[in-house]
Amino acid sequence: MNTSKESLFVPPRTLVLVGMMGAGKTSIGRRLAAQLGLPFVDSDDEIATASGMSISRYFEQYGEVEFRKGERKVIARLLERPRHVLSTGGGAYMAPETRKLIRAKAFSIYLKADPSILVERATRHNDRPLLQKGNPHEIMAHMLAEREPIYAEADITVESNNRPIDETVNHVLNSLYDFVYSDQKNPD
C-alpha cells in the first residue's frame, strides 16, 4: 500500500479508466477506488443492469452499433454522478462524444498493456464478443492498431503489464498527482 503524500490526496474529478479489454480497468479501478475512498462503477455492469442482459447477449441480440449507442448514454449518465472511479468498456473511448464528455467532467487514464498480455487476460473467460469472430491475437492486434492513437489522447498513460495490481495502482496515483499539480502550477 502506498503511504506517500500521493496516497492521501483525493482527485478533484471522477477518474475514468480507458484501454483495451484485458488491460485491467476493472481490477485496477476497484483497488484505486478503495485506496481513494471513492465509489467504483463499471460501465459494462451498468449497461448489463440497465438492459437486463449480459454484454455478450446484448451484442448478439442488438449488435455493436446499438451497444455503443447505449454505452454512450450510460457513460454520460454516470459522469453526472458525484466523483468516483469509472471503468469503461474497451470501445467506449473511441466515440468522439464520449471522449469530449470525459474531458469535460473527468480525468482519463489509459491503462496500456502488451498485446500478448491483453489476449491472455481477455480470453480467460469466453465472454468477449469481439474476440469470438476469429483468431484473438489477430483481432486484438487489429483493434489495438486502430484504438491506440485515440487512447493516447487520455490525460495519463500507465503501463498495466504483469506487475502486481497494487504497484500499478500506486503508479496511477503518482501519475495522477503529478498531472493534477503540474496542471495547477502551469495554468493555460
Residue 1 lies in a domain: no
Identify the three-state secondary structure at position 139: helix
pLDDT recorded at residue 1: 40
**pLDDT tens per residue across span 142-158:** 889 999 999 999 999 99
**pLDDT tens per residue across span 26-62:** 999 999 999 999 999 999 999 999 889 988 888 889 9
Instruction: Give Cα 188 to chain centroid, integer Å.
Output: 27
Domain enclosing residue 151, as ranges: 12-179
Q: Report the percent of the chain where pLDDT is more than 70.
A: 86
- The structural domain count of the chain equals 1
pLDDT recorded at residue 5: 47
Residue 47 lies in a domain: yes
**pLDDT tens per residue across span 168-183:** 999 999 999 999 988 5
Does 3 score more than 60 pLDDT?
Answer: no
Residue 89 lies in a domain: yes
> What is the side-by-side strand order in the sheet with 156-159?
40-42, 85-87, 14-18, 106-112, 156-159
Q: How far apart are CA 114 and CA 28, in angstroms?
A: 16
Residue 5 lies in a domain: no
State the CATH number of the domain containing residue 43: 3.40.50.300
Residue 4 lies in a domain: no
Q: What is the pTM of this model?
A: 0.87
Does 159 score more than 80 pLDDT?
Answer: yes
